[in-house]
Amino acid sequence: MSEVVSQDQIAFYRENGYLVLPGHLPKDVIAKACDEIERLSAHATNIDVSDDLIDLEDSHSRNDPRIRRIKRPDLQSTFFNELMRSDLILGPARDLIGPNIRMHTTKLNMKKARYGAPVQWHQDVAFYPHTNDDVLAIGVVFDDVELENGPLQVFAGSHKGPVLNHHHEGVFSGSVDLAEAGLDTKDAVSLTGPAGTISIHHGRILHGSALNTSPRDRQILFYEMMAADAFPICGAMTPFTTIEDYNSRMLCGEPTNEPRIENIPIRIPQPQPRKTGSIYEIQSQGKGGLETFEQAHANG
Ligand SMILES: O=C(O)CCC(=O)C(=O)O
């Protein structure tokens, strides 16, 4: 018996590697989340460079604050921490990867109107390979998301394929060259929906999102998690200091020290690039770097 997701939806996720639950969050939760985003964003007016709390767009200044990402909202906000532990988020996750779940990380990608940064094509497990495939990310959108404001895009079914090359000139660059992989953006599915929609994507699905040149924001919060018996492979970008610290990231169910090992494709994200602060910084050191708003417009 599933909690939230129907058997058909579970079958869809297994086949395609993603699932969208439109309008999943109630309106009062969305309103509170927007207040929290505003509160956490205020910090940007006091900083010139990215720090542990906020990742800034290159064009940021204190007078014209431009936030690319609010880092670890679960640590900065009781509200976002409680939301992560609520049935609204864990119900669908349990339906897909079972009762014992550990958090990997959280992040709130802002993609603000007119300049919000793109995220190049990648697979999450290229950053953090684990011993089995029960790894997923839940994306919660706080704006109506349509084609124009940079929805998350996925290649349906790619979670069943290999982990693609995420290296550039011998160094991990966190991004895939679509042409090299024989893929075309036009074949990607855009995960759109009204504010409060959640998307769930498999750790191995190829995904990314475009620059937001529209007049509307697209703020998305990712809760990344895995089955408790999925353990990071040596070399993964998963912080692992002690088993106590690792187990403190349990979201529900019981931890284990018996990893479940599956015969799945794996690549190790090593050697690491010079700057590793966020996916944006990692990808900016790859082929072509990150396209900025100005470059996109210069290119028409
Ligand atoms: O914000 C997005 O559209 C995608 C973000 C993403 O895939 C990531 O941060 O790993």
Distance 23 CA to ligand 1 centre (A): 20
Distance between CA atoms of 152 and 190, rounded to whole angstroms? 6
Residue among 207, 214, 280 whose CB has most ligand 1 atoms within 8 A, to mutate: 207
- Which ligand 1 atom is nearest residue 111's CA? 1
Number of the ligand 1 atom closest to the C-alpha atom of 278: 9
Q: Are 200 and 138 in contact (CB under 8 A)?
A: yes
Which of 152, 166, 214, 280 is the best mutation target for the ligand 1 pocket, counting ligand atoms within 8 Å of the beta carbon and taking the most? Answer: 152
Give the type of residue at 172.
F
- pLDDT at residue 59 tops 60: yes
- Determine the atom of ligand 1 nearest the C-alpha atom of 279: 9
Determine the distance separating the centroid of ligand 1 and the alpha carbon of 145, expressed in angstroms.
14
Residues with CB under 6 A from ligand 1: 107, 109, 119, 152, 207, 209, 220, 279
- pLDDT interval class at 293 (50, 70, 90): very low
Report how far ligand 1's centroid is from the alpha carbon of 125 (Å): 13
φ, ψ dihedrals at 246, nearest 5° = -60, -45
Q: What is the pLDDT of residue 300?
A: 30
Residue nearest to atom 1 of ligand 1 (CA): 109
Could you tell me the pLDDT band of residue 296, with boundaries at 50, 70 and 90?
very low
Structure tokens at 25: 């969050």
Give yes or no for a contact between 133 and 203, defined as CB atoms under 8 angstroms apart.
Answer: yes
Rounded percentage of the chain residues whose pLDDT exceeds 70:
95
Tell me, what's the pLDDT at 298? 41
Q: How far apart are alpha carbons 173 and 176 in whole angstroms?
A: 8
Which helix (H) or strand (E) segment holds residue 85: the answer is helix 78-85
Residue 294 has pLDDT above 50, yes or no: no
Looking at the domain that runs over 7-298, which CATH code has it been given?
A: 2.60.120.620
Alpha carbon of 1 to ligand 1 centroid (Å)? 31
Q: Is the pLDDT of residue 290 over 90?
A: no
Shortest-distance atom of ligand 1 to CA 107: 9
- Look up residue 1 and give its two tokens: 């018996």
Other C-beta atoms closer than 10 Å to the C-beta of 203 total: 28
For residues 294 and 56, what is the distance between their CA atoms, to the nearest angstrom? 16
C-alpha of residue 4 to centroid of ligand 1, in Å: 24
SS3 213: coil
Distance 63 CA to ligand 1 centre (A): 27
Task: Quickly list H helices, 151-190.
Answer: none
* Predicted TM-score of the model (pTM): 0.94
Q: Amino acid letter at 68?
A: R
| pLDDT higher than 90, residue 157 | yes
Residue 278 is predicted with a pLDDT of 83
pLDDT, one tens digit per residue, over 213-270 is 999 999 999 999 999 999 999 999 998 899 999 999 999 999 999 999 999 999 999 9
Which are the contacts of 198, defined by CB distance < 8 A and separation ≥ 6? 20, 21, 24, 25, 89, 92, 138, 139, 140, 141
* Nearest atom, ligand 1, residue 127 CA: 10
Burial class (CB in 10 A: 0-12, 13-18, 19+), 102: buried
Residue whose CA is closest, atom 7 of ligand 1? 208
- pLDDT at site 288: 54
